[in-house]
Amino acid sequence: MSVPPLVFCVVAATLYALGGRGRHRWMREICFYLGIATLFVVLEPPFDDWADTSFAMHMTQHVFLLTVAPPLLVLGRPWPRMWMPFPAAARRSVARGLALGGWSAPLRLAARTLTRPPVSVSVLTVVLVVWHIPWMYGAAVVHESVHLLEHTCFIAAALLFWGPLLDAPPVRSRLDHLRRAGWFVAASVPGWILAIVLAYAHHPLYPVYATLHHRAFGLTPLGDQELAAGIMWVPGSLAYVIAAFIAFYRWLAPTAADLPTAEPRPEELSWT
């Protein structure tokens, strides 16, 4: 693993642990640490080495960075908690500087805009499409700095998308569960389209993998590409489909206002 991802994993886990001292919210903690562990595994050898010699493994890496690690991190509700380990004086100083410097309102506006589902889905789509242009994909394979930028874009775009729809404070979506289900489905469509393009291509579309002398698992260039398409199509859609089903189920579930109330006992009736 290169130093920046390793530093990110260690720092994030440390801040989260320090910010949660004295609290016992095990499910949130399990989700967050699973997210960190996922990042560590897919960005560390041998997984990262496999991604350099197999299009399918590189696509698997992208699936984990877009649809597995980010929602797990978000379910851990990390943002306020990771802020708590810093000294109170430093936190107040930063807040005062943002307020007095006139940054507070623009930052709130940017956050509200970027986390609106139409915008976040668009950002996620653009990031997915741009980084799967063959020459961009090839540059990420060849140059470690470009590869790091690619991974950063994936994680950032995914956090923008998953955060509001999974209600990670301080960002929450005001959408009902039915519309959330719709946006989860919408986010999976670009991956389906990419998978179809890769699956039905009659020749390898990515020269960086087509010209490899040693390819992982002994696949042909076209076979490697077809396997990558299948990974994007099925495992790449799984998290979106699960989230959509859960949101739809919650939309169907009766609210407190819909539940029948018990008949009052005679002595509780008022005759005034």
Q: What percent of the chain has pLDDT over 90?
A: 62
For residue 212, give the nearest of 50, 42, 43, 2 by alpha carbon: 50
The pLDDT score that the predictor gives to residue 253 is 84
Is a pLDDT exceeding 50 seen at residue 150? yes
At residue 201, the 3 state secondary structure works out as coil
Helix boundaries (H) for the chain: 3-19, 26-42, 47-53, 55-63, 69-75, 78-83, 88-100, 104-114, 117-131, 134-142, 144-165, 177-200, 207-210, 221-233, 235-252
Please name the residue that has the structure tokens 């500087």.
97
Mean pLDDT of 113-137: 95
Contacts of 4 (CB under 8 A, 6+ apart): 148
The pLDDT score that the predictor gives to residue 100 is 66
Instruction: Kindly report the number of other CB atoms within 10 A of residue 145's CB atom.
Output: 11
The pLDDT score that the predictor gives to residue 269 is 38
Mean pLDDT of 38-51: 92
Is a pLDDT exceeding 80 seen at residue 218? no
CA gap 195, 234 in Å, rounded: 9
For residue 65, give the nearest of 197, 182, 154 by alpha carbon: 154
Higher pLDDT, 97 or 114: 114
Contact 81, 20 (CB under 8 A): yes
The pLDDT score that the predictor gives to residue 254 is 63
If pLDDT is split at 50, 70 and 90, which confidence band does 59 have? very high
The pLDDT score that the predictor gives to residue 179 is 96
The pLDDT score that the predictor gives to residue 123 is 97
CA gap 124, 126 in Å, rounded: 6
Contact 78, 16 (CB under 8 A): yes
The pLDDT score that the predictor gives to residue 258 is 42
Mean pLDDT of 144-151: 93
CA gap 190, 240 in Å, rounded: 12
Is a pLDDT exceeding 50 seen at residue 18? yes
Is a pLDDT exceeding 70 seen at residue 99? no
Our measurement of the distance from residue 43's CA atom to the centroid of its chain's CA atoms, rounded to an integer in Å, reads 15
CA gap 165, 173 in Å, rounded: 6
What does the buried/exposed string (b/e) look like for 86-97 if buried means 16 or more CB atoms within 10 Å of the residue's CB?
eeeeeeeeeeee
Q: How far apart are the first and last CA of the chain?
A: 76
Q: For the segment 228-254, what is each residue's pLDDT rounded down to a tens digit? A: 999 999 999 999 999 999 999 999 986
CA gap 183, 3 in Å, rounded: 35
Mean pLDDT of 77-98: 84
- In this prediction the pTM is 0.88
